[in-house]
Chains A and B, each alone.
Chain A
Amino acid sequence: MENYLYAIVMGIAVGVINRVLMLRNDHRNYPTYPHGHLTHLSLGFMAAALGAVAVPAIAEADYTAATFLVLAAQQFRDIRNMERETLNRLEETKMVLRGADYIEGIARVFEARNYLVILSALVTSGLVVYLNFIYALAGAVVCVLFSLCLMNGKFIGDIAEVEKAELYFDGSLLKINDIVFNNVGLPQVRKKILDEGLGVIIKPKDDNARLTLDALGQRMAIIHDVVSILGSKVEVDEKELTPMARKDPDKGYLALYIVANEPDLEILIDVIKKVPVLESAYNTTLKTFLGRKAAD
Chain B
Amino acid sequence: MDIGLHGVILAIVTTDANKICGGTCPIFAAHGDEEKEELGFKLARVLGGTVHDLGNGVYIICRHH
Interface residues of A (CB under 8 A from B): 97, 99-101, 171-172, 182-189, 216-217, 219-220, 223, 236-240, 242, 244-245
Taken together as a complex, chains A and B put the C-alpha atoms of A219 and B2 apart, in Å, by: 11
Taken together as a complex, chains A and B put the C-alpha atoms of A217 and B48 apart, in Å, by: 26
Taken together as a complex, chains A and B put the C-alpha atoms of A72 and B2 apart, in Å, by: 38
Q: Within 8 Å CB of A242, what residues of B?
A: 5
CB pair B53–A171 under 8 Å, yes or no, is yes
Majority SS at the chain A contact face: mixed
CB pair B3–A172 under 8 Å, yes or no, is no
Nearest chain-A residue to B5 (Cβ)? A182
Would you call B21 an interface residue if the criterion is a C-beta within 8 Å of the partner chain's C-beta atoms?
Answer: no
Closest 10 pairs (CB-CB, A-B): A185-B51, A172-B53, A185-B53, A183-B52, A237-B48, A185-B52, A100-B1, A186-B51, A239-B50, A185-B59
Instruction: Output the residue of A100, A171, A185, A216 with the most chain B CB within 10 A.
Output: A185
Q: Within 8 Å CB of A172, what residues of B?
A: 52-53, 55
Taken together as a complex, chains A and B put the C-alpha atoms of A38 and B52 apart, in Å, by: 48
CB pair A219–B55 under 8 Å, yes or no, is no
CB pair A220–B3 under 8 Å, yes or no, is yes
CB pair A216–B3 under 8 Å, yes or no, is yes
Q: Within 8 Å CB of B41, what residues of A?
A: 186, 188
Taken together as a complex, chains A and B put the C-alpha atoms of A226 and B3 apart, in Å, by: 15
Q: What is the minimal beta-carbon distance from A237 to any residue of chain B, in angstroms?
A: 4
Given contacts A184-B53, A186-B53, 15 further A-B contacts (CB under 8 A): A99-B1, A99-B3, A172-B53, A183-B52, A185-B52, A186-B37, A187-B37, A217-B1, A220-B3, A223-B3, A237-B44, A239-B50, A242-B5, A244-B3, A245-B3
| A/B interface sample: 24 pairs, CB < 8 A | A97-B1, A99-B3, A101-B1, A172-B52, A182-B5, A184-B52, A184-B53, A185-B40, A185-B51, A185-B53, A185-B59, A185-B60, A186-B37, A187-B37, A188-B41, A189-B51, A216-B3, A219-B3, A220-B1, A236-B48, A237-B48, A239-B5, A240-B50, A242-B5
